[in-house]
Amino acid sequence: MECMHLTTENNMASMIYQAVINHPDRVAIYTPTHKELNAPHTELTYAAFAEQVRDFQRALELYQLKEKDHVLIVALPQGSLFALITALLAKKLIPVFIDPRMGYRKIRQVLRETPLAAAIWGNKWRFWHYFLPELWKVPAYSVDTLEKRALETKLDAKTEQTASIKKEEFPFTLLPCHADDTAVITYTSGTTGLPKGADRTHGKMVKQFQILHELAPPLENDIGLTFLPTAVIHGLSLGMTSVIPALDLLRSHQFQPELICNQLKNLSVTCCGGSPFFIAALADYLEKNNLSLPSLRLIVIGSAGAHPQLLIQLSRILPNTEIVICYGASEAEPIAVVHGADIIAEYDQETIGRGYLVGEICAPLLVRIVQSTVLDDMLQNPDALIEIDHLNLPIDEIGEIVVSGPQVTDKYTNPLVSMEKKFYDSNGRLWHRTADRGCFDHKNKLWLTGRCGDQVIMNGKEIDPFALEIFIDSLP
């Protein structure tokens, strides 16, 4: 089995390591200096990025952080943050990310259950340490402190040069690992009240990025701007240039589309990715101001579907831009992909009340549609043999979407959550319950209709919310 081999290729950071070797002088990350129109950007080449990674690795050693230590990271996206994440991954330390929107009570619950060796804060967030008793005995550092400490020791030792990396040089320390070694843990709110700590292994992340690469291979000089921090790591693994958007992701209500459009234009961005909320705001701004983005060749909308009206609007204002919708979840991504043009072509009176078309399944992923209550009853019996294909519902029949494949996370940090969201079938395959509802059509394309438990009853009939949303929005 793949997980039995201890190799550097299994280490997720190996993809970034190779990108540094291949493109040392290419800009890795543009970061806006402040959130204002026409604000300048700092640029970090892949060679400089690798040097930052080495600096962080030196600082981690100085603070005696070692393999498999869990390190809490709370900082805003910028070049140094991604260098820090890469340094941790390459040295087999485990970054832990907590969604601040979980709320104070759930954050404290997570911290009680997570064995942290250190907490690293962006300057804006360091005060949190004092309001979370579970962290009072955990060593705390700022990103800036780590950078300064590493720089001091480097200058004293005078052992490294700051010149660009050559082919024969090693970009940074890269430790071998097993494919099933934990790479990253991300905590989000759970639907049952328990926080979900997705345990993402190096092997799963490598496979996820390989599949995404095959679905949308980058061009040689692509520049990407994304509202999804994990997509920046993906961009680095491909050797792309990434642009950090000029916004605070935790204050999306303060989003200023003019700042992002200004970045897209001034930096000649070729690829843009984000949720329907952000993409719709950009589209409205462009249309209202009669603006175009001639360099933009691709928009990737990542979520549980995109409204046909948004796609029609985008095709009108950006006729030369390809629109792709990528459906997935943090535990299983990607699941399905569809082109915006295909959704527009399917948008008629017959499909208007069906839900969101999310397209064809991303091989080698397996997807089944099952009746949630039947699966719930079977899982009550620990000895039950689950014949998943026997539970699979017919075409056009709506049920819960369950998935199995190499990019699907195997477990959560909390065994109780794993029991709720994961199960094995009679063939020993592990399946993940997405809690999304949908169906396959006669073309074997997947449609999303809503979340489990969100249905409404109208005239004695069960109606899923996504179908209702699209129908209401289509009314004149």
pLDDT digits (tens, 9 = 90+) for 83-128: 999 999 999 999 999 988 788 899 999 999 899 999 999 877 778 8
User: For position 333, what pLDDT does the model report?
Assistant: 87
> What residue ranges of the chain have pLDDT lower than 50?
1-3, 158-168
User: For position 102, what pLDDT does the model report?
Assistant: 83
User: For position 156, what pLDDT does the model report?
Assistant: 56
With a pLDDT cut of 70, the percent of the chain lying above it is: 92
Counting Cα atoms < 13 Å in the Cβ hemisphere of 290 gives 0
Q: Are strands 422-424 and 322-329 parallel, antiparallel or unpaired?
A: unpaired
Q: What one-character-per-residue DSSP string does 305-337 give?
A: ---HHHHHHHHHH-TTSEEEEEEEETTEEEEEE
Q: Which whole-number Å values give the CA distances from 267 to 155, 228, 237, 249, in the listed order?
A: 34, 18, 21, 20
Run of H or E residues at 339? strand 332-339
Give me the sign of the Cα torsion angle 119, 183, 80, 246.
negative
